[in-house]
Structure 1
Amino acid sequence: MRLGVTMFATDLAMPVQDLARAAEERGLSSLYLPEHTHIPVSRRTPYPAGGELPEEYRRTFDPLVALSFAAAATERLRVGTGILLAAQRDPIVTAKALATLERLSGGRLTVGIGFGWNVEEIEAHGVPYGERREVARRHMLAMRALWRDEVASFDGFEPSWSWPKPTRTPPVYVGGAAGPKLFAHVAEYADGWMPIGGRGVKAALPALREACERAGRPMAEVIPFAVLPSKEKLDYYAGLGITETVAGLPSGPADVVLPVLDEYAAMV
C-alpha cells in the first residue's frame, strides 16, 4: 500500500516545497493539492461539510504552480492535483501547463479532477452549475487530444499544434461520490476514481466495474482520497485490491503538519 498526502497549500501553511521534501524523506508516495480559483464573498452556497467555510478555501494556491515547486524539491515523490476543477479551466492552456509539469517532473504527475460544489464560483467562470459535469468532460477530452495528437482538434478549437507532449499521458482520476453519472465519466475518459473521504468504496466497486465493462475497458483504479488513515483502514483497502490511499493533512505551519506526517509515515 502506497500512502500519499493532500493539504490545502496557502500563504499561511507550511511551504509546499518543505512539505514535499518532508513527505519524501518519510517514505510517503505522493502529494496532492486542491484547487479553488476564488470564493465569492456572498457565500450563497453552504459549505458541504457544514458550519463555517475554513479559511484555507479562500487562500488556496494555484495547484500547478505550487506542484512545480514540490516536484523541483524532490526526486521520487509523485505530485498531483486533488482536485483540479476542470470545468473552470481553459483546456488548451491547462493541457499545456499539465504537460509541462509532467515533463519537468520526470513523469511524476497524476491529474485528479472534479466538478466543484460552489455554485457562485463555478458560474463566475461562465459555466452554468447544472452543466459543469458536461463542460468538465469536454475539457478533459480536449486535453487528452492535445496530449496525444500531433495535430489535435476538438469541438471548440480548430486543428492545432500544441507542445510539449507529456512523456506519458498522466493518469486521470475523477473525484466525487459514487453514482452512475460519476462512474460513466470515469469509464469514458479517466483511469480511475477518487472517492473523497474513502467511505462506501466496497459497496461501490460492482457498479464501477459494470460501468467499465459497458465501456469495453479494464476496471478503473481506485484511490481513496483525503482520508483519516489507520493501519486497519489501510489493510482493509489493500484487501479490496487498492494500492494507493491519500491521507488528509491539516493546513497549517510545520509544527502542526510534521507530527501528523510522522504518524502517517509510521503506517507505511
Structure 2
Amino acid sequence: MRLGITMFATDLTMPPHELAREAEERGFASLYVPEHTHIPVSRRTAPPTGADELPDEYARTLDPFVSLAAAAVVTERIRLGTGILLPAQREPIVTAKAVATLDRLSGGRVALGIGYGWNAEEGADHGVPWKRRRAVVREHVLAMRALWTDEEASFKGEFVAFEASWSWPKPAGRVPVLLGGAPGPTLFAHIAEYGDGWMPIGGAGIREALPDLRRACADAGRPMVDVVPFGTVPTPEKLAYYASLGVEEVVLRVPAAGREAVLPVLDEYARAYL
C-alpha cells in the first residue's frame, strides 16, 4: 500500500515544497494540497468541520498549482496532487493549460483530486449556479479532457463552449481525476463517467459503498476505479482495514503548522507505517 501526505498549506505553515522534499526523502508516495480562492466574510454556509467558527486556514490557502510547481522542482518521484481542487470555480481552458504544463514539467506526476465545493458564498463570487455546481464540474472536467487529449479540441455544453482549438502542451500522460465527496448515486455516476477514482474524505463508509461504486462502473462499461481514502489519521488497524478492501493508496493528514510540528508527525508516520 502506498502512503501519501496532505497538509492544509497556508502562508503560515511549513512551505509545501519543503514538505514534498521531506516526504519524498522518507519514502511517501504523494503530496496533496487543497484549494480555496478566498473566503467571504459573510458566513451563511456552515463550516464543513461542524465547528461554530471556520478555521483561519481556509482563508489563507496557497494556490495549489503554484505550490505544486515549486514542489516539482525540488523532488523527483513523489506524486503531486490537489486535494481538493474546485473546478466549478475555475475557467476550464486556463486550468487545463496549468494542469498540462505542471504534468509535463514534473514528468507526469500530477493527480487531480476535485470536489463540488461546500461554500455557497465562495461559489457565488465566481458566478457558480450553486444548485447546478455538479453539472458545472462535470462539463469543466470533460472540457479539460478534450484539451488534454485532442489535437483539435472542441466542446459544446451548457456551461462551457469553444470551437476547434489547438492547445499545447499536452500532459505527459493521463492525468488521474479523483472525485472527493460522500458516497451517493450522483457522485458515483460522475466517477464512472469521467473520473479515475473516488477520494472519500476521512475514509468512513467505504465498505458499505463499494458495491454501489462497482455497479456504477459496470453500468458505464468500465473496470472498477481506485479508492483513495483522504485526510486519514492512521492506525495499524485502520490501514489493515483499507488493505483488506483492496485500497492501494491512503493519504495521511499532517497538521497545518510549521516544520517544528509537522516533521515529528512525518517521522512518526514513516517509522510506524513505511
Q: TM-score, normalised by structure 1?
A: 0.99
Find the counterpart in structure 1 of residue 126 from structure 2.
125
Find the counterpart in structure 1 of residue 190 from structure 2.
185
Identity %: 66
Find the counterpart in structure 1 of residue 10 from structure 2.
10
Find the counterpart in structure 2 of residue 19 from structure 1.
19
Q: How does 1:202-213 map to 2 (within 5 A)?
A: 202-213=207-218
Find the counterpart in structure 1 of residue 153 from structure 2.
152
Find the counterpart in structure 2 of residue 107 from structure 1.
108
SS of alignment partner, residue 231 of structure 2: coil
Q: How does 1:3-152 map to 2 (within 5 A)?
A: 3-51=3-51, 52-152=53-153
Deviation at 1:123, TM superposition (A): 1.1
Q: Distance in 2 between matches of 1:108 and 1:49?
A: 30
Q: Distance in 2 between matches of 1:190 and 1:140?
A: 9
Choose which of 246, 253, 274 in structure 2 pairs with 1:248.
Answer: 253
Q: Distance in 2 between matches of 1:146 and 1:187?
A: 20
The one-letter code sitting in structure 2 at the alignment partner of 1:111 is L
Q: TM-score, normalised by structure 2?
A: 0.97
1:230 matched to 2:231? The reply is no
What's the CA shift string for 1:170-209, capped at 9, x where partnerless? 1110000000010011000011100000000011000000
1:176 matched to 2:177? The reply is no
What's the CA shift string for 1:97-117, capped at 9, x where partnerless? 000000111111111110000
Which 10-residue stretch deviates more, 221-230 or 48-57? 48-57
SS of alignment partner, residue 37 of structure 1: coil
What's the CA shift string for 1:210-251, capped at 9, x where partnerless? 000000011011000011111211111111111000011111
1:166 matched to 2:167? The reply is no
Q: Distance in 1 between matches of 2:148 and 2:109?
A: 16
Deviation at 1:169, TM superposition (A): 1.5
Q: Which runs of 5+ in 1 are unaligned?
A: none
SS of alignment partner, residue 250 of structure 1: coil
Kindly report the root-mean-square deviation, in angstroms, between the aligned alpha carbons of the 2 structures.
0.7
Structure 1 residue runs of 4+, over 2 Å off? Answer: none
SS of alignment partner, residue 230 of structure 2: coil
Q: Distance in 2 between matches of 1:15 and 1:84?
A: 18
Q: Distance in 1 between matches of 2:172 and 2:76?
A: 17
